[in-house]
Structure 1
């Protein structure tokens, strides 16, 4: 397996983990009081947007040819770091 594919698989696995954590938060929202549910829903909506941004970066990485993917790596990692921090913060706040 080449370096790009290995990197992509690692990112995809982490994205799947975050999706599961966001799903858990969404399930907690359904059980929460009306006021808390609104906060949960807003947080989940923000996390889903960041998740979509991260997935878009992953698609850009897929489309990059040759060694050009390494140039995109920094942007991909920034999106991953942002999403990871947001999920961690939400988990602490609502978990």
Structure 2
């Protein structure tokens, strides 16, 4: 397996984990009171945009030739870092803010 393919698989797995966390947040939002649900929905919408950005970078990376993908790797890592950080921060904020 090439380094490019291994890296692509790693990022795909991490994006899937972020999407699973978003699904968990959506489920929590459904069980929250109406005012809390609005806050959840706002934060989840922002996270979904970051997931889409990470997926776009991943697609760009996977379509790049072997000699060009290294240059795109930094952009993909940056998108992943932003997504990962946002998911963690948002999950922590929402859980603290809307504890039952």
What CA deviation, in whole Å up to 9, does each residue of 1:34-70 have, x standing for no partner?
Answer: 1110000011111111000000000000111121000
5+ long unaligned stretches in structure 1: none
Q: Tell whether the 8 Å contact from 2:4 to 2:66 is kept in structure 1 after alignment.
A: no
Structure with greater helix share of residues: 1
Aligned length: 95
Runs of 4+ in 1 over 4 A off after TM superposition: none
TM-score by length of 2: 0.92
The reply to whether residue 62 of structure 1 matches residue 62 of structure 2 is: yes
5+ long unaligned stretches in structure 2: 96-100
**2: CA distance between counterparts of 1:66 and 1:4?**
7
The reply to whether residue 39 of structure 1 matches residue 39 of structure 2 is: yes
3-state SS of 1:66 partner: coil
Q: For residue 91 of structure 1, report the CA deviation from its aligned partner.
A: 1.3
What CA deviation, in whole Å up to 9, does each residue of 1:1-59 have, x standing for no partner?
Answer: 01000000000111111100000001111011111100000111111110000000000
TM-score by length of 1: 0.97
After superposition, the CA RMSD in angstroms is 0.7
